[in-house]
Amino acid sequence: MELIADRETRTAQENATTVNVDRRAMMKLTTKQHWTIHVASMAVVLLLILLIWTQGVMPGGRYRAVNGKDGIYKIDRATGEMWLTRGNRIVPVSAPAPVSEQSQQRIELGTGDVARISGRLGLSVLGRDVSGHIYNGTNYHLTELVVDVIQDGEQKRRYRTDVNAAALTSTSIFITTGANGKVSNWKIVKAFARK
C-alpha cells in the first residue's frame, strides 16, 4: 500500500508542478497581451488627438487663415465668423455687406478688350484636349471665353470655356476637344467678365 500511496503522492506533486508552470506561462502571456492592448489604446488616443487638432489647424479644416492688408484673418468655415489677428490681439470682424447682384452682372467685352487677352495653347499630353495659359490684359475679371481652335490646319471648331482671371493676371485654361490633331492656330472670339 505504501508504494501505491508514494506513487499517488509523486503524481500529485508532478501535477501541481505542471499546473504552476502552466500558470506562470499564462501570466507571461497575459502580461504581453496587457502591454499590447496598452500600446494599441495609446496609439488610438494619440490618433484621435491628432485628428481633432488638424481639424482646427490644417488646411481643409474648420478654420482658414487669410493674409490681408490689416493682418491675418481667421475664418470659421462652418459659421462664417471672422477674426483679425494683429500681434497677440484677436478682434472679431463683422461680415462685409453682400455684393449687389448688379455689380456681379456678366458683360461681354468689346473687340478692343478681347485683343488685350493673349497666351499660348497647345495639345495636352493625351492629344485630345487643348491646354495652355492666357494673360488677361484687361481691367475686368474674366469668367468665360469663346475660342476658335484650328486643328491640322483646316478643321475649325468653336469652344466655350470657363476661366477665372482677375485683371492683369494670367491663368491656365483647359478645353476638352475630343478630337485628335495638332493645334495649328487659335483665336479668342468672345470674352465675358464680371462688371
Q: How far is CA 61 from CA 57, 93, 139, in A?
A: 6, 20, 34
CB atoms near residue 79 (< 10 Å): 8
Strand partners, 83: 74, 92
Instruction: Give tens-digit pLDDT for 142-153.
Output: 999 999 888 777
Percent of the chain with pLDDT over 90: 16
pLDDT at 13: 62
CA angle, 161 then 133 then 163, to 5°: 30
pLDDT value at residue 34:
73
pLDDT, tens only, 69-78: 777 778 776 6
Mean pLDDT of the chain: 75
Q: How confident is the model at residue 139 (pLDDT cuts 50, 70, 90)?
A: very high
Residue 123 pLDDT exceeds 90:
no
Query: What three-state secondary structure class fits 75?
Result: strand
pLDDT of 56 reads: 53
Encode pLDDT of 151-177 as tens digits.
777 778 888 988 888 899 988 888 877
Torsions phi, psi of 34, nearest 5?
A: -60, -45
| 142 alpha carbon, distance to own chain's centre | 25
54 to 58, 61, 117, 134: CA distances (angstroms):
5, 7, 41, 37
Angle at 35 between CA 31 and CA 39, to 5 degrees: 170
CATH-assigned architecture of domain 102-194 = Sandwich (2.60)
Annotated domain spans of the chain: 1-58, 62-93, 102-194
pLDDT exceeds 90 at position 117: yes
pLDDT at 53 over 70: no
- The candidate with the shortest Cα–Cα distance to 143, out of 103, 96, 104, 101, is 104
pLDDT of the residue at 115: 94
The highest-confidence range among 45-49, 127-131, 142-146, by mean pLDDT, is 142-146
3-state secondary structure of 13: helix
Q: Residue 164: CB partners within 8 Å, gap ≥ 6?
A: 141, 142, 143, 171
d(CA 62, CA 81): 11
